[in-house]
Amino acid sequence: MSTRPAPRSSPTPLYIVCSPFRGVGKTLIARLLTEFHQIDGRPVAAFDLADEGPQLADYLPRLATVAEIGDTRGQMALFDRIIAGDGAVTVIDLSHRAFRSFFGVAQDIGFFEEARRHAIEPLVLFIATPDPKSARIYGVLRRALAHASLLPVRNKSEPRTGPDGDAVGAGFKPAPTSANAGNADAPMEALEIPLLDFPLRAQVDLPLFSFCEFWRGAAADLSDQSEDELLSWMEHAFFQFRGLELFLGCDDGSGRAAGPRSRCVAASGRARQREVRRPRADPAREVPLDASGNSILAMLKNAGGRLRVAESRVHELTAEVGIAESRAASAESWLQMLESEIVDKLTARTDVRPRADGRR
C-alpha cells in the first residue's frame, strides 16, 4: 500500500522569503504575500522564523506562527505541519540567522522533495542585494535546490538592496524546477517590488497597519493621493504575485479578487473604497471643501515630515562641513610648521658642512 498522498488538481504554493542579510525587506514581502492570499479569501498559513522585531507575527498575529528550528522538536512543529498541510498557501519569513540552518535541515530531511509529493510547490524568493556574497549564495542555492524553484526578488522599496533597489544582475537567474513552472506563458526573471515613498513606507511599517484591511477600504491616516499611491503599489505587487502562481503552475484559473485586475477597475474601486471609508454620520465631513482641506492638511503633514528630515540632514551636513574645514585649517598649520622646521634644519646643515681642508 502506498503512502503517497492523493494528487490535487493544482499544487499549493509554498513561499520562502529569504536573504542571508538583514534589513532587506523580507518581512514586508512575507506580509504582502500573506495578505494577498487573505484578500483572495484563500486559506493561508504564515511561519515567522525571524528573531528580531517587528516581525511577521507582530503584524499578522492571527495568521503567523512563530517557528524555531534550532532543535528537532521545533523542526517537527514547522516541517511536519507544512507537509501535513490542509491546502493552505504557506508563507515562510526566514530570518537571515536561520537561513543556513533552514536550508541545511530541509536538504537533510528531503523537505522540498516530500513537499512536491504532497502537491505543495515550493518557491524560494531570494532578496537580491548588491553584495557579491549575495550573488554567490544565490548561486549555491541554485545548484542545491533540485526540488524547489528559485526566483530573485528586486525589492526597490528597501534602500539597502542597492541603488534604486536594482541589485539583480547576471548572477541572479531564475531557477524554475517544477514541471509546470516557468512555462512560456508566464516567464519571470525576478519578482519586482516597486519603490514606496518614505512616508508611505513609514505608514505600512506601523504595527497596526494591515494591507488586507486597507485594500478592503479601512481608513488610513493618508491623503487621497497617498492612498492612490499605496493602492497602486499594492496592485503592482499583487499583479506580480499572481504571476508567481502562474510561474509555479499553481493557478487554478479561479480569477480571484486580488488578481491582475485592470487598472480602471482598481481605480474606480479605490474611489468607492474612499467613499465607503469616509464616515457618513458626520455630514460636515462630507463637504467637499473640508475633504479638500483634510487632503491638503495631510499633504502638508507629509511635506512637513519630509522637510524636517531634510532639515536635520542639512544640519548634519553643515556640521560635517565645519569639521572638515577645521581639519583642513589644522592640517594647513601643521604643514606650515613642518615647512619651517625643514627650512631650519637645512639651513643648520649648510652652516656645519665641512670645509675642503677638513676643518669646520
Partner 1 sequence: MTKPAVVLIGADKGGVGKTTVARTLLDYFTHHQVRARAFDTEAPRGTLKRFHPELTRVVDINYVPDQMQIFDTVHSTEAAVSLIDVRAGLLSPTLRALRDIGFIDAAKRGQITFVVFHILGPSIASLDEIAETAAYLGDAKYLMVKNFINNTHFFEWDEATYGSYFKRVPGAVEMTVPKLVEMATEQVELASVPFATFVANRKQSGEPASYSFVLRGYVRHWLDQVWAEYERIGLLGTVEPRQAVRAAILRPRPVLEAAEAT
Q: Give the binding site for partner 1 (CB under 8 A).
A: 1-4, 72-73, 75-76, 79-80, 83-84, 108-111, 113-114
CA distances from 28 to 91, 178, 234 (A): 12, 26, 12
Distance CA(324)–CA(316), nearest Å, equals 12
Distance CA(54)–CA(61), nearest Å, equals 12
Q: Which amino acid is at 338?
A: L
CA angle 343, 348, 349 (to 5 degrees): 100
**Of 7 and 110, CB closest to partner 1:** 110
**Of 29 and 106, CB closest to partner 1:** 106
**Of 109 and 195, CB closest to partner 1:** 109
CB of 80 to partner 1, least distance (A): 5
Distance CA(233)–CA(27), nearest Å, equals 16
CB of 242 to partner 1, least distance (A): 30
Q: How many residues does the chain have?
A: 360
CB of 311 to partner 1, least distance (A): 55
**Of 3 and 262, CB closest to partner 1:** 3
CA 278 to chain centre: 31
**Of 80 and 185, CB closest to partner 1:** 80
Distance CA(156)–CA(159), nearest Å, equals 7
**Of 107 and 295, CB closest to partner 1:** 107
CB of 176 to partner 1, least distance (A): 23
Distance CA(157)–CA(28), nearest Å, equals 9
Gyration radius (Cα) of the chain, Å: 29
The residues pairing with 45 across neighbouring beta strands, listed in sequence order, are 90
CB of 321 to partner 1, least distance (A): 59
**Of 82 and 298, CB closest to partner 1:** 82
Q: Which amino acid is at 351?
A: D
CB of 84 to partner 1, least distance (A): 8
Kindly give the residue spans of alpha helices, DSSP state H, lying in 251-287: 263-277
CB of 92 to partner 1, least distance (A): 15
